[in-house]
Amino acid sequence: MCGIAAIAADQVSIDPKKLMKGILDSMAHRGPDASGIFYDSNVVLGHRRLSILDLSSIANQPMYSEDGRFVLILNGEIYNFIELRETLTEFGYKFRTRSDTEVLLYSLIHWGKNALERLNGMFSFILWDRETKEFFGARDRFGVKPLYYAYHEDHYYFSSEIRPLFLAGVPHRKNEKTWVNYLAHGTYGQPEETFWENIWQIPAGHAFTWQPGKSISIFKWYSLETRVREYLPQEISEHQAMEDYFNLMEDSLRIRLRSDVPVGINLSGGLDSSLLFRLVHSLLGKDSSLDAFTFTCNDPEYDELPWVRKMVQGYQHPLNVSLLKFEEVPELSLKTLEHQLQPYGGIPTMAYARLFEKAKEKNIPVLIDGQGMDEQWCGYDYYLKKENEAPSLVQGVATSPVRPNCLNSDIAGIASYPKYSQPFKKYSQNLRYRDLLFTKLPRALRFNDMVSMHASRELREPFLDFRLVELAFSLPDNYLIRDNVSKFLLREIGSKIIPDEISTAPKRPVQTPQREWLKGPLFSWVESLIYDVLLKKSDWFIPSQVKAELASFKAGKSDNSFYIWQWITLAQTLLLEENFHRSFNE
């Protein structure tokens, strides 16, 4: 897990060493173990390394092919690198390192772009061919690892984070359309969009090429819909589906436990986390002692700590508990936004970040968690609604999570609910497809990448193995939902290895008392941000409507605080913009 950056131009006209060094310094948290730069007249490649596999210096990046023709920078992990290396060895390739980076390098040399289909991992990478002067890069199937880019003053800039693009001189202006859709509909942008004007991202499952004299060309290399329709069995018995899925879960975890540094596990009290925990023991044995991490907000109505303690009881896992207090939220929320530079998941994201800080204290560089099951198995409450009911983008709320009535008519007129692809015949498949590739999962992966890497920790997602996703997407609807119970067959799998009270429990949103804190001990802070910043520095809102909604929220008349957090985030972004203008113009 690392940070990568690149500059590409017909003729690089900036000082490559000075600019790239500044860019890499700004991402030191993503790779504190080593830093490297390659440059020639057309490209500059930069890399920050967090050493996970082959800790020696010969595995540092940028990595060069033996003949020096190819140069590679990689952010992420290729989990099946051992199997790929064995195949490449049969073709005569010799390896100097034990790293997955070198395996990726020679996979791309040997198979070209077709190598992508062979990779099982989370990755964003860039490969430069010094002979043909072709720039080639790609992002993993579901976008676990980010890659942002911008075009500014005849140069393309690429980076694992947005801030380095500002350092490169890209203007820091809000993307008005993305922001307004977020406020009006709760969306976080289309796969290629960000919340900043003229800053884009390579979408999940896409690759790109560039050569001097040409524009960047982006294309889709992975198609979930094609895999499900053409390559997977459409009819399978319940017993066979359970057996196949369980075997794939074990194999996915097995290859994701490959590491030359200690690995820990993030736990909640839910089904997915419990499944992951028990799978660890099916592979490593009951006496395995991976450090476990969970968070608490010291609120018995929300905390899952009792469930987690029951889960680890009788096992040799040190349990590390991270506490988030409401007093920390004002300062921590701004620091989190300064790093994310886009709207994030509120207090739950800050609480989750504490796990990675604790893992850093304990010197555990790699963690695994249970992300990805809900999008496969219809895990959210709105999957139980009828097809003609508009599916929410927020789990666990009965009323609208947004307040478009607070936007003035001019700005509200910009908003439009995004149209999402519906490549399947089944409603449930299209809804899961939306959540997996456009809404729920992309934003969660972004939040998690940023908070984990801010603490220089690598987060792995065993349940996002593409083989698991493809199999789950091919199953009949009654394997997913039965008798108004979601994740039906997954619960059947879980019932064989985890306690009944967990395997049969309903889906719960990430548990923090955000609503209670914001209308209670933090309300004066909320009020100050909205009155003194949001309404004074932005003309997007109808002040009387905002004040009425805020008063209603304070009085406990809302079942959610999503729209309140939206306003907090925008207010803090306005403050950050002012700071950017001052700091970058000095």
What is the full DSSP assignment across 147-164? -EEEEETTEEEEESSSHH
Residue 287: pLDDT over 80:
no
Q: How confident is the model at residue 86 (pLDDT cuts 50, 70, 90)?
A: very high
Q: How confident is the model at residue 281 (pLDDT cuts 50, 70, 90)?
A: confident
> The whole model's pTM is what?
0.95
Question: Does residue 566 sit in helix, strand or coil?
Answer: helix
DSSP letter assigned to residue 90: H
Q: What is the pLDDT of residue 89?
A: 98
Residue 502: pLDDT over 80:
no
Q: How confident is the model at residue 505 (pLDDT cuts 50, 70, 90)?
A: low
Give every CB contact of residue 547 below 8 A, 6+ residues apart in sequence.
Answer: none
Q: What is the pLDDT of residue 541?
A: 98
Q: What is the pLDDT of residue 231?
A: 65
Q: Could you report the per-residue pLDDT of 342-351, keeping only the tens digit for each?
A: 999 999 999 9
Amino acid letter, residue 570 = L
Between CA 55 and CA 62, with CA 59 as vertex, the angle to 5 degrees is: 135
Q: Could you report the per-residue pLDDT of 143-194, keeping only the tens digit for each?
A: 999 999 999 999 999 999 999 999 999 999 999 999 999 999 999 999 999 9
Question: Does residue 179 sit in helix, strand or coil?
Answer: helix
Q: Could you report the per-residue pLDDT of 381-436, keeping only the tens digit for each?
A: 889 887 766 566 777 677 899 999 999 999 999 999 999 999 998 899 999 999 99
Strands lying side by side in the sheet with 200-201: 34-39, 43-49, 2-8, 155-159, 148-152, 200-201
Q: Could you report the per-residue pLDDT of 425-469, keeping only the tens digit for each?
A: 889 999 999 999 999 999 999 999 999 999 999 999 999 999 999
- Could you tell me the domains of the chain? 2-162+199-222 (3.60.20.10), 225-503 (3.40.50.620), 514-585 (no CATH)
Q: What is the pLDDT of residue 32?
A: 97
> Distance between CA atoms of 441 and 312, rounded to whole angstroms?
27
Proportion of the chain above pLDDT 70, given as a percent: 95
Mean pLDDT of 492-510: 67
Residue the block writes with tokens 């194999």 = 251
Cβ atoms of 463 and 57 within 8 Å: the answer is: no
